[in-house]
Amino acid sequence: MQRSELLIVFEKMYLQENDTKEKITIRVQLVFSLILALVAVSSYMLRMLDFTESKPVALSILVLVLVFLLCLGLSGVLAVRAFWGNTFKQMPAASEIKNYCNALVQYNLEVEAIKDSLDDGTQEVDIKSELDGYLSDAFEECATHNADVNFKRSTMVHQSFKWLLTSLIPLAISATLFVGLDMDVSSPRKNYQVIDKYVGDQLGKIDSSLSAMTESLKKLEGTKMSDPNTKKPASEQDSKAEPSPGPAKDVPMQMKPKLPDRPSVRISLEDSSGNWAEVKHDSGQE
């Protein structure tokens, strides 16, 4: 197989390993998302676990959740190792390859200039063949190294998925006990007495104030009833002193009320500048 053919093969392998690297990174990100979601579920169970309902069941759920977190921790460690700290080899920059090509051209010019004085058989190089050989060797080195790294990363991601699926077993059992036996302390089926200390203190103060006001009113009422000189209410005295109404007097004729004018309407027009102008209309006139 010629150098040009090997160059094409190694280049394709190099590009394939780069694609594999990105696919593995996406898989690792998926593992991280699942881990965060499962941690949120387990955190809710631990926070809302009711130890007063049934302590043996609550302790069983606690142990299962701890086993779940242990397996999930192993999965997270493997996922981090697959995501971080891996080194890949990349092809040299385009400017470096161009400089190498220019150096080969300069080498041929120097050999051409002094080829008559050289006795060791130094000859000009084939620039195309030399570049193909160089690129072929570079693609081969990068593709081989990246393939080894991707294989290790893929193995760690596979192990991470395995521990992630294993952690679902204790989580599923604990969730079944948590929901089936109603171990949620905030469950609406549980009738717990809710006591607000601040509201209770304020209600106590209001009750004390109302009691004091009631006692004051009772004392005041007793004082009025024991005093014989207590005056009757002014309404009763006025009712006795008020003379009987006489015949109705004629109400003087007042002027005929005048119907008020209707408010003028307003018209909003949009001028050419885009602003709104308001025009008031008087009664019957613009």
For the chain, what are the domain ranges? 3-180
**pLDDT surpasses 80 at 274:** no
Neighbours of 150 (CB within 10 A): 20
Q: Measured between alpha carbons, how far is 36 from 29 in angstroms, rounded to an integer? A: 11
Average pLDDT in the 61-80 region? Answer: 94
Q: Measured between alpha carbons, how far is 187 from 174 in angstroms, rounded to an integer? A: 17
Bridge partner residues of 1 (DSSP): none
Average pLDDT in the 210-227 region? Answer: 74
Q: Note the pLDDT tens digit of each residue in 25-59.
A: 999 999 999 999 999 999 988 888 887 778 888 89
Q: Measured between alpha carbons, how far is 31 from 75 in angstroms, rounded to an integer? A: 8
Q: How confident is the model at residue 269 (pLDDT cuts 50, 70, 90)?
A: very low
**How far, in whole angstroms, is CA 235 from its chain's centroid?**
71
**pLDDT surpasses 60 at 145:** yes
Residue 29's H or E segment, with its range, is helix 3-47
**pLDDT surpasses 50 at 284:** no
Residue 102's H or E segment, with its range, is helix 94-114
Q: How confident is the model at residue 260 (pLDDT cuts 50, 70, 90)?
A: low
Average pLDDT in the 192-200 region? Answer: 56
> Residue 272 has what pLDDT?
44
User: What would the two tokens of residue 16 be?
Assistant: 């394939």
On whether the pTM is more than 0.75, the answer is no
**pLDDT surpasses 50 at 273:** no
User: What would the two tokens of residue 105 be?
Assistant: 């051209």
